[in-house]
Structure 1
Amino acid sequence: MRIGILGYVSKPEVLEVVSLIIKHSKNEGLNCLVNEELARKLGLKGLKTCEVVKFSDVILMIGGDGTLLRVLHECPEAWDKPILGIRLESSLGFLMEVNVEEVPLAIKAITKGNFTIEEREGLKVSLPRREEYLLNEVVIKSADPSRAVNLRVKLKGDLYDIYHGLCDGILVASSTGSTAYSLSLGGPVLDPRLRALVLLPISPFTVSYRPVVIPSWRELEVILTKGEYIIIGDGRMIGEYSNGGVVVVSGGKLAKFVKLRDNFYERLQRRLYWHG
């Protein structure tokens, strides 16, 4: 079995974790592939990040949620590979499965096949000439942060709007993304195994609107009026609009997460200080 090791050296403890993974993987007879940035610092031979993804059976990602989102964006093949997230102490890392001290046990579990694969649905965002696949959320807002926007949101094929009015923007999140930006806006927490979308206007100019949860097989149309807009997906710019248009959002690809235990609600309590 080939273990892919991915991370970014912006945090010094990453190199210590890589060395720990390599040591225990060798003890279990596993081969390790390391991305160039990490390998160079450790005096090892490395591969480009997407090559590590391509040739690995399981991918170990070290860091926080941003590391995982970045790899899914840069390497589309990562959507098809089992991913085990390793959380650094300095990161919130809600999507990360294990802490650093659990690495030896995690590698043993992978070697023996004592794990399950949990599929989590992301988003598909249809723009004028391409489609973007995201894990957490898409935000549509004015290119001018000082301006509110007048937006309509409806389900494709329906006559009635789900939302129509002034706001600072619109957020659509996946179930996995419900514990990210959506949560900070007062959105509901969804079990990540649900295939659903959360629709939230950002700072709407009304007191009566509430978040809406819809099945992800439906297509949401966000209708842009005149003005300049930016589209942000999983924290990066993915598009710009001027003079109106339509952004269509629906359920997307399935990311595959290595699960050593069913601990979503425990993680809510430990990492987000949630008390149900």
Structure 2
Amino acid sequence: MVSRFRHAALVGKYQAHGMGPLLEDIAHLLSRKGLDVSIEARTALATGITEYPSLTVPELGRECDLVVVVGGDGTMLGIARELAPFHVPMIGVNQGRLGFITDVPISSLHEALCAIVAGDYEEEHRAVLEGQVLRNGNVILSATAMNDVVVRCSGIGMIELSVSVDEQFVTNFRADGLILASPTGSTAYSLSAGGPIVHPGIAGLVLVPIAPHTLSNRTIVLPDSGRISIEIVAGREMSANFDMQSIANLILQDQVIVRRSPNRVRFLHPRGWSYYATLRRKLHWNEGGVQVPGGF
């Protein structure tokens, strides 16, 4: 079959053992299918692959129409944030542990890639969060997140946060911190803090207090069309982080402003992919019970 893609880029988890030979194997496969192949520049440097051209992320976004990411969800999250403005579709090959968004297993890699590059795939879009940290009205940090934005106490103690949505006051949270998660992030830190699992097709954001000091402070699902403001009312040793990457130290009266980005991430999955089957596999549902078709 003739490929519907022209130019593929490969991105790999730099530290993973055996990453170089695996990426070369994928590159050879894609080349045999008629695609031009490039290696993301940091991946090329770390693996020593010189057989294929290397591209920076902006070059990759402008020149490539497919990206194959090999690693775990952390690897995918990192490159997805950078590539979201370019709307390039991505395939995630799981070499990590959980793999909620890197879903192609190594064992069926060749079969899945051949089908996808021939146009036989499922496509889904995921929301991205964008935000700023304001101090005295000035922006001290701008960042994006696919999973979550977390405001919390970095040491021992509690903080108090005032939350508003579209300039409408919601409440003050007294807790160890606060998580604002996208549907993608609902299976990450938010889940461990007691938040709900939100299907990625739902246009919502999850606001989850971390160890709230008032039992009535509960998780709330918000529409993702709003502007969420989190202001620091009380506390010390506080920080805001975006996907645990971009971090700002906070002081009293700082504001963290978050909204949904106009950019969305495009994922390509093998035909027959199911979000519910992913949850069953990764969260070990149905273990010891009746097996559901497609489950493990």
TM-score (norm 1): 0.89
User: Counterpart of 1:21?
Assistant: 26
* Match 1:153 to one of 157, 163, 170: 163
Change in CA separation of 1:139 and 1:256 when aligned onto 2, cut-off 3 Å: same
Q: Write the distance in 2 (CA, Å) between the matches of 1:169 and 1:121.
A: 23
Q: Write the distance in 1 (CA, Å) between the matches of 2:237 and 2:91.
A: 39
* Match 1:269 to one of 276, 280, 290: 280
8 Å CA contact 1:79–1:254 kept in 2: the answer is no
User: Counterpart of 1:93?
Assistant: 99
User: Counterpart of 2:117?
Assistant: 111
C-alpha offsets along residues 79-104 of structure 1, whole Å, 9 cap, x if unaligned? 5110110001x422211131112221
User: Counterpart of 2:126?
Assistant: 120
The yes-or-no answer on 1:63 pairing with 2:74 is: no
Change in CA separation of 1:168 and 1:79 when aligned onto 2, cut-off 3 Å: farther
Amino acid in structure 2 at the alignment position of 1:157: E
Q: Write the distance in 1 (CA, Å) between the matches of 2:284 and 2:32.
A: 37
Query: Cα distance, 1:43 vs. partner?
Result: 4.2
Q: Write the distance in 1 (CA, Å) between the matches of 2:72 and 2:151.
A: 24
Q: Which moved more, 1:123-132 or 1:189-198?
A: 123-132
Structure 1 segments unaligned to the other structure (5+ residues):
none
The yes-or-no answer on 1:102 pairing with 2:108 is: yes
* Match 1:142 to one of 130, 141, 153: 153
User: Counterpart of 2:254?
Assistant: 245
Q: Write the distance in 1 (CA, Å) between the matches of 2:223 and 2:11.
A: 33
Q: Write the distance in 1 (CA, Å) between the matches of 2:202 and 2:71.
A: 25
8 Å CA contact 1:84–1:259 kept in 2: the answer is yes
C-alpha offsets along residues 140-195 of structure 1, whole Å, 9 cap, x if unaligned? 1124x112101121222324x2x423211110000111011111111100111211
Query: Cα distance, 1:28 vs. partner?
Result: 1.3
Any residues of structure 2 matched to 1:217-236 within 5 Å, and which? 217-226=225-234, 227-236=236-245
C-alpha offsets along residues 114-160 of structure 1, whole Å, 9 cap, x if unaligned? 123311112121322254221110001124x112101121222324x
Q: Write the distance in 1 (CA, Å) between the matches of 2:223 and 2:12.
A: 34
3-state SS of the aligned residue for 2:114? helix
Change in CA separation of 1:70 and 1:102 when aligned onto 2, cut-off 3 Å: same
The yes-or-no answer on 1:256 pairing with 2:270 is: no
3-state SS of the aligned residue for 2:128? strand
Q: Write the distance in 2 (CA, Å) between the matches of 1:28 and 1:62.
A: 19
- After superposition, the CA RMSD in angstroms is 2.1
Work out the number of aligned pairs and report it: 271
Structure 2 segments unaligned to the other structure (5+ residues):
1-5, 287-291
Q: Write the distance in 2 (CA, Å) between the matches of 1:194 and 1:147.
A: 34
Identity %: 26
3-state SS of the aligned residue for 2:101? coil
8 Å CA contact 1:8–1:37 kept in 2: the answer is no
TM-score (norm 2): 0.84
8 Å CA contact 1:79–1:256 kept in 2: the answer is no
8 Å CA contact 2:133–2:254 kept in 1: the answer is no
